[in-house]
Amino acid sequence: MKAYTEMTREELLQEQAALQAKFEEIKGKGLKLDMSRGKPSNAQLELSNGMMDVLTSESDMVCEAGVDCRNYGIMDGIPEARRLLADMSEVPEKNILIYGNSSLNVMYDTVARAMTMGVCGHTPWGKLDKVKFLCPVPGYDRHFGITEFFGIEMINVPLLETGPDMDMVEKLVSEDDSIKGIWCVPKYSNPTGISYSDETVLRFAHLKPAAPDFRIFWDNAYSIHHLYDDDQDVILELLTECEKAGNEDLVYKFISTSKVSFPGSGIAAMAASEANLADARKAMFYQTIGHDKLNQLRHVRFFRDMDGMREHMRKHADILRPKFEAVLDVLDQELGGLGIGSWVKPKGGYFISFDSLEGCAKKIVAKAKEAGVTMTGAGATFPYGKDPKDSNIRIAPSFPTPEELALAAEVFVLSVKLVSLEKLLAQ
């Protein structure tokens, strides 16, 4: 089909009339579909049901350290869970600290601690006139939610195919000591699905921030969440590169098993230098007498080791891959060559990111809603919910069934076409 951008006014009007009729027909079906949140489907949750059986009232619940997991003790996490999460984070065991059930909670705590107590002996951020964070965009709404909640000013940095625009990052952090952090999802990023290049990771490791308490918040939420066995992204391990660069305190790495086992009932961890972990432990001591060791034991008994976890992730991929491909096929078939949108085909993670013509995203999401399809709110992928171009839309294909997805994708492309036609006709 001819690109919309090359059609005459008559052709555009003709196309609009045909699509409007199709839209009304679909609207009449009373659909109720949701492509808004990156939640695993029921089939994925069932993959981990066996975890509920590895501990019974008959089980030995003593961990390798000889401590009864039913009781208090071992604040850093049981040794076997530390090993598993250290392997998952690609760091030595000494660099890992096990937390509770959510990595977002660890990120929140880390910012809260910096605000109230300061980072490694520096002035608490809450006592400074201004604290700023760099936010690669589009990015994860809940990261931006944490920094907004604490009144931290957020600065947009474009996320390129290789990662954040490092020229901009280097310049800003070296000139402004009120910039205290940057949010990063280095692998299969939420939402664009890109992974940072080696050059980007190395430039991060060699950053020279003006603020001594600047930290990279490296949220490796999708580290082992590949869609393909034979085509996987591998990124350099940042903590090691920071150490080599003499910058070992520069990074906090976050990880969890939320989308490996059960979201909300997984294990979260932070990987960092020994100085950063000592700083975190000081607060943790007052925060808790220990995290859920039975859950840690359950995870280790179920997965055993990284090989077990990788095998498990292949089963997730088998469920997720056809869903991603179903949506991508519809995008390719229906929107390919029309000149009204672009998207990246991700090799992992949980999202497909779509960029519409400028000024159309909000209207597209509203249009899809009119026909019963809920998308992530337009703007959510930017700080303060403000997408300056109003063009980015996050598609989350994990939860609906493949049949539901095919329908939802049809409604989505129809909405994209109708809103784009409206824009082109108004020009």
Ligand X SMILES: Cc1ncc(COP(=O)(O)O)c(C=O)c1O
Restricting to residues 148-167, which ones interact with ligand X according to CB under 6 A?
Answer: none
- Contact (CB, 8 A) for 187 and 196: yes
Among 16, 36, 102, 162, binds ligand X (CB under 6 A): 102
- 269 binding ligand X? (CB under 6 A): no
- Interface with ligand X in residues 294-353 (CB under 6 A): none
Q: Does 263 bind ligand X (CB under 6 A)?
A: yes
> How far apart are CB 268 and ligand X at their closest, in Å?
5
Smallest distance from ligand X to CB 279, Å: 21
CA distance 256 to 102: 7
CA 162 to each of CA 40, 174, 227: distance values in angstroms, whole numbers, following the listed order: 27, 21, 19
Query: Token pair of 40, please?
Result: 């695993």
Stretch that binds ligand X, among 96-104, 168-176, 199-207, 413-421 (CB under 6 A): 96-104
Is residue 220 part of the contact set for ligand X (CB under 6 A)?
no
Q: How is residue 348 annotated by DSSP? A: B
CB of 142 to ligand X, least distance (A): 7
**Using the rule CB under 6 A, is 146 a contact of ligand X?**
no
What the block records as the tokens of 79 is 């040794």
Tokens 């999708």, located at residue = 222
Told to check if 172 binds ligand X by CB under 6 A, we report: no
Query: How far from chain centre, in Å, is Cα 200?
Result: 18
The reply to whether 185 sits near ligand X by the rule CB under 6 A is yes
Q: Please choose, out of 58-66, 99-107, 286-294, 376-384, the segment that lies near ligand X by the rule CB under 6 A.
A: 99-107
∠ CA 271-274-279, rounded to 5°: 90
Judged by CB under 6 A, does residue 41 bind ligand X? Answer: no
How far apart are alpha carbons 58 and 367 in whole angstroms?
Answer: 55
Nearest-angstrom CA–CA distance, 394 and 81: 33
Residues whose CB falls within 8 Å of the CB of residue 374, separated by 6 or more in sequence, listed in order: 33, 34, 35, 36, 368
The binder of ligand X chosen from 99, 125, 133, 140 (CB under 6 A): 140
Binding to ligand X (CB under 6 A): which residues in 72-91? none
CB 403 within 8 A of CB 409: no
In the complex with ligand X, the residue whose CB is nearer, 247 or 381, is: 381
**Whole-number Å distance between alpha carbons of 39 and 400:** 9
Sole window of 43-51, 97-105, 275-283, 378-386 interacting with ligand X (rule: CB under 6 A)? 97-105
Instruction: State the nearest-atom distance from the C-beta of 183 to ligand X, in Å.
Output: 9
Binding stretches for ligand X (CB under 6 A): 38, 102-104, 140, 185, 190, 219, 221, 256, 258, 263, 268
